Chain A
Amino acid sequence: MITLDELLERDKKREQDGFKRKIRIGQIVKPGAGGREKIIVVPTTVEEKFVHDDIVPEQEQGEGEPTGGTGEGQEGDIIGEQPIRPEDGQGEGEGDGEGPGEGKGGAHEIEANAYELGKVLSQDFELPNLKDKGKKKVLARYVYDLTDKNQGVGQVLDKKATLKKIVETNISLGRIPDVSTIDTTGFIISPQDLIYRILSREKEYESQALVFFLRDYSGSMGGKVTQTVVSQHVMLYSWLVYQYEKQVETRFVLHDTEAREVSDFQKYYSYKVAGGTKVYTAFKLVNDIVEKENLARDYNIYVFHGTDGDDWDKDGKQTLAEIEKMLTYAARIGITIVEHSYVGSKQTEVEKYIQSSGLLTRREHLIKLDVMAENVDDSRIIQGIKTLIS
C-alpha cells in the first residue's frame, strides 16, 4: 500500500509535468468522550468529470435541499426544528477553575498523525522551521536518562566508547605501529578505559506554544470559505505540533456577532450559524482569556483568525484596538481572509482596515495577513501558511 509520503512525492512530479496537484490533506474528526477527540489526517482527492452541479440555482434562498419524509401531518406542518447555533452542552458559561493543561482545549489528544503531517509540511512543502523556538519561556522538567558517561564504574558498558578509549590508550603507548594491520590480542587495557553510562537527572527545556484558532462562523461563511479556513488551520496546527515537538496546546474560538470558546476541534470545525459578523468580539475574548488565566507568562501565544472579511464594524475601530492589545503579548497573529468568488477582487472590510491601520508594516514581525480566493488548492493554502508564519 502506498504511503502518504509517496503520494505527495507523486503529486510533486505532477507539477513538474505541468498538471495541477491533486492530493489534498483531509481531516476526519473522531469524537471521543469528554471532548477528547482525535484528528485523523487522511489524503483525499477528487476525480474530475463532467457532472451536474448539486446546487440547484432556483432553490429559494434560505431553503435547504428537500428530501423525503414519512409520518402524519398536513402540508405546511412543521415537523421539527434544529438549532442553527448549536449549544455547547456542558462547558458553556464556566471558565473559572479550569486552567490550561486540562479541561477545555488543553486536553487535546495529540495525534501522531498531526505530527506526521507537520513533518510532511515542513519537509515536503518546505515550510520554514521556527527560528526561535521560544526557549526563553521554558518549562523545566526532569527526566532520567542514561546519557552521562563515566570512566571505571557505571550501569551499562558503552562498548563503542570503550573500544575507542582502548585504541587511544594503545596508540599513545605506541602499541599500534601500523594502523592498517592492528593486532587486538596485544592491546593493553586499563580499568580506566572502560566507559560506562550512568543514570542521571536531566533538565529538559521545552518550549510551549498556545495556539488560539479563531473562526468567523457567521452566515456568510458558507461552504468553501469555511473549508478553506479549516484546512489551513489544521495544517497550521500540525506544523506547530511538529515544530514544538507536540508541546502545543490549542484553544478554539468561534464568533459571529458574539464570540464563544468551544471545547474541541470538532465543534470548531462543524458549527455553523447564520448571524452577522463582529470580528472584534473574538479578539476581545482571547485577550480576556489570556489576562484572566495569566497565560502570557508561560506560553508563546499564537493567534490565527480565519474570516471571509465581512465585519459590521466597518472601520475596524474596535477590532484594531483589541489587536493592538494582543500584540503586546502574542508571538504571532495571523489573519486569513478567504474571499467569496462573488466578491471579486474588491477589498473586504477586514482587509481594508487592517491595511490602512499600518499595523502590517509597523509590527510586521508580529502580525501577518493572507488573502486568498475561496476555491484555491492546497498548495496555495500552504503558501498562505508560509506568509502567516514567515
Chain B
Amino acid sequence: MELVSQHVKGIMEECKVRARDAGLRFDDETLEYIVTNRDLIELSPKMMIPTLYDYWVHDVRVLSGKGMYEAYPSNPFETVINTRPAISYYNDNNPDWLNVMIFYHVLAHIDFFQNNLFYKNTWDIDLAGQALADKRIIAQLRSEKTRWLDYVIEFARGMDNLVGFHKNLNRTLLHDTPKKPTRTDFYFDLFLQKIRSVPQHEYVKEIDRYNQCKKESTDFFDQVTGRYPEFEELFQKQIAHKEPPRMDIMEYILRYSPFLKKDENEWMKSVIHIVRSTSLYFQPQMRTKTMNEGWASFWHENLFMADNRISGHEADYAKINASVTAMPKVGLNPYALGMRLFEHIHEMEDKGKYSFDYFLLKDAVLKKKYDTHKNTGRSFIFTVREDMNDFTFINSFLDQEFVDRHKLFVAGRRINSQNMTWQYYIKSKKAEDYKQMVINTLYHPPDIRVDADKTKDGILYLNHWFENKPLKFDFIENTMIGIEFLWGGPVHLETSEPKSTAQKDPRYTNFWDPSAPGTAPAPEALPIEWKRVRYVIKDRKLQKQEL
C-alpha cells in the first residue's frame, strides 16, 4: 500500500479542476493509495479503514476472503472512505487511462460524502485518526482483559445495527430543541382537553371566544386566569418540563446497566462506546448506497466522456462502463439504477415535469411532449444529492415514466412442474410494484427500543415495533445472551410472529413431489395473522412466552 506517484497525483488534481467546474464540491486535500487485491481483501472486513480496531471476526473474514479470492478472483477498481482527508484506493492492476475515469468516480463519491446531509455528523471527523486512537484503547484493554474484551466487542456489535442514527442526525440538523407549546396551544390542546377535560360544547365556546378576542384585539387570557387560577402555574411547569432524551439500546445500557456501573466493569463502557460510534459513522453509507453509486457513475460518465484523455480508449471504456452500469436482464444493479434515476430526474426537471400542470395531464401523447424548457435539471439533481437518502430518492422519483422508459419489470420466478424448470416471468410492469421491490432490498434494521416503563426489577424490556417483518429467529438467542451479559440481568424482547406455525402443511405435502400429476392445487394464500410473543433470556437460557 503506497501513495500514488507524483505523476498520477497530477492527473488527479487536473480531474479535480474539471469536476469542480462541473459543480462538484469537495475538500482540496485527498489521499490516493495504490493497493493490491490482497490488500483489499485484508481491508474489506475493516470497512476499508486500515486503522480500525482488531477483532477476530475480521480475521475470519480475511481468511475466508482469501479462500474466496483463490476460487473466484475478483478485481475491484477502487474504494473510497469517508474521512478527512478523503482516502481512496486504486487497484495496482488499473491501467492509467482507467484511473482517469475512476478519479471522476471517486471525486463524485467524495462530493456525495461531503454534501449529503445524512453525513453531516461525519463531516468534522478524521475517521482514520479516531479509529487509530480507538484501536490503541482496544489493544491496551485486550492485554489486560484478554478474551473478555473480545466478548464485550461481540456483544456490543450484537446491538450496533440498532443505533439511533436518525435521532442523532435530528439533533444536529434541527438543533434538537423540541418545540415548546405556546400559551394558546397549551390552553386548547392540553389544558382544556387533557387536564380539565371540558365537555365539547364548552371547548367550542372557548374557540369562539378566542376568535372574538382576536377580532377585537382584546386579551383572551384575562378571563382564563380568572376562571382557572392554576393555569399560569401549570403552563410555566410545562415549559420548564424537559422530555427525557430518547436513547437507543446501547445508550440505555451504557447509562443504566447495573452491571456496567460496577467499578471492575467500567472499562466495558469505553468498548461499547467505540463500537457504537463506529457503527453510527457507517450508517449514512448504508442508507445511501444506490444514490452514492448512482451519483458517482453519473459523473464519471459525464466527465470522462468530455475528457480528451479518453481518446484511443473509447471501446475499452465502453466495455468497462457497461460491465458496471448495464441493467441486468434479471436482477438488480444499484449502480445502474441510481445512475439512470439521476439522469431521469435531470431530464424530467429540465422539461418542467415536476409540476402540478404535468400531474394534471392525462393524455399520454401530451405527457410525452410536455416541455416547459425549464432547464433546471442540473441544479435540481444537486439538491437531490444533498437532501435525500435511498428511500426518499426511490420513493419520490421512481415513477411510471422511468419504469416505461427503461422497460423495467418485476421478475417473478416459479416452478414449472411439467418441465422441471424454474420459470422466469414478467410479474409486473407497474411502477408501484417495482418501487416496492427495490425498497424491500434497502437497508432497514428492525425498530427495537427499550420500554422504560416495563424495565424494572432488574429486567431490561425491549419492544420491537413491528412492521410485518418477523425477526430472524436463529439470531435471537445469541444476541440476547450478549445483551443479558452487558445488562447484568434478564432481558425480555417483545416481538411478533406468524400465528400459525410457519411452513405448515401445504408446503410440506407439496414438497413430496410437486411434479407428481394430480397434486391438489395450492391452497389460496391466506393473509398471515400475527401474534405478540415475548422472548425471555435468563441465565443464558432462552424461553418464549405467548402474550
List residues of chain A with CB under 8 Å of any chain B CB. 1-2, 4, 7, 10, 13-14, 17-20, 23, 26, 28-31, 38, 40-54, 56-58, 60-85, 219-220, 222, 257, 273-277, 310, 340, 342, 375
Contacts and interface: CB of A to CB of B under 8 A. Distances in A.
14 contacts: A19-B540, A31-B71, A49-B479, A53-B471, A53-B472, A63-B413, A64-B414, A67-B413, A78-B424, A79-B424, A81-B422, A83-B420, A83-B422, A220-B512
B421 A81 contact: yes
B337 to A, nearest CB: 8
Contacts of B501: 342
B22 interface: no
Given A51-B445, A219-B511, A44 B327 contact: no
B503 A58 contact: no
A17 B151 contact: yes
B512 A69 contact: no
Nearest to B437: A66
B426 A69 contact: yes
B420 A70 contact: no
B475 A48 contact: yes
B513 interface: yes
Nearest to B481: A19
Given A68-B337, A276-B513, A340-B503, 15 more contacts: A1-B62, A23-B60, A40-B71, A51-B446, A52-B470, A64-B414, A65-B413, A68-B332, A70-B408, A73-B426, A74-B426, A75-B429, A84-B415, A274-B420, A275-B515
A64 B428 CA distance: 15
A275 B420 CA distance: 9
A29 B72 CA distance: 9
Nearest to B498: A57
A51 B471 contact: yes
Given A66-B410, A74-B426, A49 B159 contact: yes
Contacts of A276: 512-513, 515-516
Contacts of A222: 511
**Residue among A1, A18, A68 having the largest count of chain B Cβ atoms under 10 Å:** A68
Contact of B56 (A10, A38, A80, A342): A10
B44 interface: no
Contacts of A47: 57, 154, 157-158
Contact of B528 (A51, A58, A61, A81): A58
Contacts of B498: 57
A69 B408 contact: yes
B428 A50 contact: no
Interface of B: 56-57, 59-60, 62-64, 66-68, 70-72, 147, 151, 154, 157-162, 327-332, 337, 406-417, 419-429, 434, 437-438, 444-446, 448, 464, 469-479, 481-482, 493, 498, 501-504, 506-508, 510-516, 522, 525, 527-528, 540
Contact of B422 (A18, A26, A64): A64
A368 to B, nearest CB: 27
A50 B506 CA distance: 29
A38 B71 contact: yes
Q: Which secondary structure dominates chain A's binding surface?
A: loop
A51 B472 contact: yes
Nearest to B59: A2
A61 B524 CA distance: 10
A91 to B, nearest CB: 20
A301 to B, nearest CB: 30
Contacts of A38: 71
**Residue among A45, A50, A82, A274 having the largest count of chain B Cβ atoms under 10 Å:** A50
A50 to B, nearest CB: 5
A343 to B, nearest CB: 8
Given A20-B478, A58-B525, A219-B511, A342 B415 contact: no
Contact of B409 (A2, A69, A273, A375): A69
Contacts of B151: 17, 19
B503 A342 contact: yes
A204 to B, nearest CB: 32
Contacts of A45: 57, 60
A67 B513 contact: no
Contacts of A74: 426, 429
A10 B147 contact: yes
B426 A43 contact: no
B438 A68 contact: yes
B57 A275 contact: no
